[in-house]
Structure 1
Amino acid sequence: MTGLPFWTGQIIYDVLVSLILLQFGALGVVAARIPHFFARLLSAVFYGRERVFLVRMPRYIGRRLFVLIGRIQSMLLLSISCYLVLDDEGQLMTLGLWESLFFLALLFLFFCFFFWLWRLFYALWGYLFSDYDTRRLWRGSYTLLEWLWGIALFPVAVIYLYAPQLSWFMYLLPVIFVLWRLIIIIKTLRPLPVKKIGFFHVSLYLCAHEILPLVYMMALLEWSVNNKEIMAIWQ
């Protein structure tokens, strides 16, 4: 901590740095527990070796703990990145320290709920169109993709924190998000020809599980930030 007055904006940024370092420490613990973690993660995601990774993982770390750390990491770094974007746009300049922390916590809870709901839609779709083994493997694959997405958010959060003046970096977050969802779509649609699922189901899947949730999320965030009555609550 620098000890500078809050009106400089330093204290809240010190808190964000501390949260990023805390998440980086958790990543280091997981990487230390699982030998060759990053190489194995990339191999599992891009070479279809998810089953091998998931079978061997419990030797080094509990499955639930692994899932929990990955999700907290991705959601917290996403919240920090969005906070920094909004702050750079001047939307949060009037907030004090505790209001800023409260807003960051609400962002975190919002993203946790939103992506939980997204996973619930996937579970329902999988229950209707796939067997148990396929659903189980998909859940494990999604967990690994969440980890990959969370790791990719580390440089995004750091760049937004220390180089907000470089406006073209603002596209990093949406680009990485779109790439993450494209990988999920490809992995999810891969077994469809085997299951003889037609174009209608694919279109329904894309609209219901990829396009509409994203549209609703962006609309809700924009409405919340631009709504004067809601912003008055933070003040």
Structure 2
Amino acid sequence: MFWQEQALRDTLFIVAVIGWGLLITLLVMAPGLVGFALNAYRYHRSESINLYLARFIPPALFNLLIDLSRYLLLAVILIGGGVSYGLVPATLTDKPLAIAVGGLVGGLLVLSLLRRLSFALWSYIFMDKRASNLLSEDYRTLAALKAVLFIPLTFLALSSATAVFALYGLVVLMLLTIVLRIWQTFSRLGRSYADYVYIFLYLCTHELLPWAYLALVVFLRRGALF
């Protein structure tokens, strides 16, 4: 059992190296991006991150590759932590593990696309174009920062002794991300009573309902298993 689990974690290490390498390459290709984005985000400035990125790499390609690297690292965290919790069998061989990683990453990319379409719909209904563009760039900044913060979590997930802490860290990071997204939405849009009504409706439909759906699916799955 030990050697089987070690073989699985060795394979996860290869996946993690691919994710790390892709992320570091993107950050090197756009020097100064992190400082530029944090400065704009912290002081609510309107500099376009997309215009900055366009000097080095097409923004759409950058966002896609950031998502790919982030989801590769997330797959390592979820599978590594799942093995420690007994939710994922440690006997996964190379082919089933590759299918699991590929399916998880592919599914997350599809969900990311659906989330962007949802954001486009609700921002069209509730926001003006400038606010929508600013929020979109804020969210992309958070996505890139999450990818960077996934790096230490993957180190934890690759060891059977610390993989559980990677899951705890992931939960904390996701909760902080939700709080930051809600705070940034209020910062960008909150100006009048009508704005706050729109913000409430937008947050309920775009930020909170997806998590409610996910909780419902998990609850139904647990009921089906037991």
| Residue 124, structure 1, aligned to residue 121, structure 2 | yes
2:145 corresponds in structure 1 to 148
CA distance in 2, matches of 1:166, 1:13: 10
**1:1-235 mapped onto 2 (5 Å cutoff):** 8-49=4-45, 51-93=47-89, 95-97=91-93, 98-162=95-159, 164-165=161-162, 167-194=164-191, 196-197=193-194, 199-220=196-217
CA distance in 1, matches of 2:46, 2:66: 16
1:233 corresponds in structure 2 to none
Moved more, 133-142 or 78-87: 133-142
Shift of 1:81: 1.3
Give TM-score scaled by structure 2 length. Answer: 0.84
CA distance in 1, matches of 2:219, 2:166: 20
CA distance in 2, matches of 1:186, 1:13: 37
Moved more, 147-156 or 36-45: 36-45
Measured against aligned partners, the alpha-carbon deviations of 1:159-182 in whole angstroms (never above 9, x if no partner) come to 122254475553210110111122
CA distance in 1, matches of 2:35, 2:177: 18
Shift of 1:22: 1.4
Runs of 4 or more off by more than 3 Å in structure 1?
A: 163-170, 198-203, 218-228
CA distance in 1, matches of 2:215, 2:112: 13
CA distance in 2, matches of 1:147, 1:27: 9
Shift of 1:220: 3.2
Contact 1:70/1:143 (8 A) holds in 2: no
Contact 1:70/1:147 (8 A) holds in 2: yes
CA distance in 1, matches of 2:91, 2:213: 26
Change (3 A) 1:157 1:215: farther
Measured against aligned partners, the alpha-carbon deviations of 1:66-88 in whole angstroms (never above 9, x if no partner) come to 11111112222222211122211
Shift of 1:146: 1.0
Contiguous gaps of at least 5 residues in structure 2 = none
CA distance in 2, matches of 1:7, 1:224: 31
Shift of 1:148: 0.9
Change (3 A) 1:15 1:127: same
Shift of 1:18: 1.4
Residue type matched to 1:148 in 2?
A: L
Change (3 A) 1:57 1:88: same
Change (3 A) 1:179 1:186: same
Contiguous gaps of at least 5 residues in structure 1 = 229-235
- What is the count of residue pairs matched by the alignment? 225
Measured against aligned partners, the alpha-carbon deviations of 1:41-62 in whole angstroms (never above 9, x if no partner) come to 3223323346243322211222
Measured against aligned partners, the alpha-carbon deviations of 1:168-216 in whole angstroms (never above 9, x if no partner) come to 5532101101111221222222233336435544333332222221132
Shift of 1:145: 1.6
Give TM-score scaled by structure 1 length. Answer: 0.81
